[in-house]
Amino acid sequence: MRLKIEQKQMNNNETALNKKLFKAVYFFAFWQQLVIVQTEYLKFLSLAHQMLASCEMPVILCIGSDKVTGDALGPVVGHILTKEMNVPSFVYGTLSRPVNALNLLETIAFIKHKHRDKKLLVIDSSVGSSEDIGKISIKYGGIYPGAASGKNLPKIGDFSITATVCSSASLLGCVSLGFIFKISKQIASAISSSLSMHHSECTMHNVG
């Protein structure tokens, strides 16, 4: 009898592990089109596991200014997520209410107070080499917003998504708005798909 119970527990554990692995792979399928600057495969699966570890949806912080096209990626992503996709997460930083260097610290303080213990996904544009323009990267860990412009702001976020939009901070104002909307749509679509899938699964699990 004990052997049967232990075997059943092993089968249950194996089933749970398979479900987690399936979720991680499914999550990766949504994101692999997005991650052009590839991290190591196992490292990326680890990130997926962290994002899907609980049914708590992450808070999304989209950083940038709507006054400079190259810096508007964050607000545009936030706008798409809230106005077009209605993601099951709190989103801060949109075209109508951007989060930039002027109000970033205040917004972070509010998020920490309002959403204690929730993971924070940060989205921002970045500068890099001309060969990297258009590349999107996701990683476990935060970013230093405004670093390319010489701003001294704290590192923020548990996860981060950045897109290289130009080769120098001085060129941010010359970036095409259509280019920014194209990349923003890709990022927003990937976020919406993965979070909506996870939210639906958690809802079904809670009902069951």
pLDDT of 21? 44
165-169 mean pLDDT: 94
pLDDT of 46? 56
* Domain-wise residue ranges, the chain: 6-207
In whole angstroms, what is the distance from residue 102 CA to residue 99 CA? 8
129-154 mean pLDDT: 85
Q: In whole angstroms, how large is the CA radius of gyration of the chain?
A: 19
Q: How far is CA 27 from CA 33, 47, 145, 181, in A?
A: 11, 10, 26, 23
pLDDT of 49? 57
pLDDT of 96? 96
- The pTM (predicted TM-score) of the whole model is 0.77
Provide, rounded to the nearest whole percent, the portion of the chain with pLDDT above 90. Answer: 46
Structure tokens at 57: 């949806």
Q: Tell me the pLDDT tens digit for each residue of 172-198.
A: 999 999 999 999 998 898 888 777 776
Residue 4 reports pLDDT greater than 80 = no
Side-by-side strand order, sheet with 159-166: 91-92, 59-62, 120-127, 159-166, 136-140
Average pLDDT, the chain: 78
Q: Tell me the pLDDT tens digit for each residue of 69-113.
A: 999 999 999 999 999 998 889 999 999 999 999 999 999 999 999
pLDDT of 3? 40
Residue 10 reports pLDDT greater than 60 = no
CATH 3.40.50 fits 6-207, yes or no: yes
22-31 mean pLDDT: 48
pLDDT of 125? 95
pLDDT of 48? 53
pLDDT of 207? 55
- Provide the CB-side half-sphere exposure for 35 (13 A, CA): 21
19-46 mean pLDDT: 47
φ, ψ for residue 169, nearest 5 deg:
-60, -30
Distance from the Cα of residue 163 to its chain's centroid: 12
Beta strands in the chain (DSSP E): 59-62, 91-92, 120-127, 136-140, 159-166
Structure tokens at 206: 């809670």
pLDDT of 5? 39
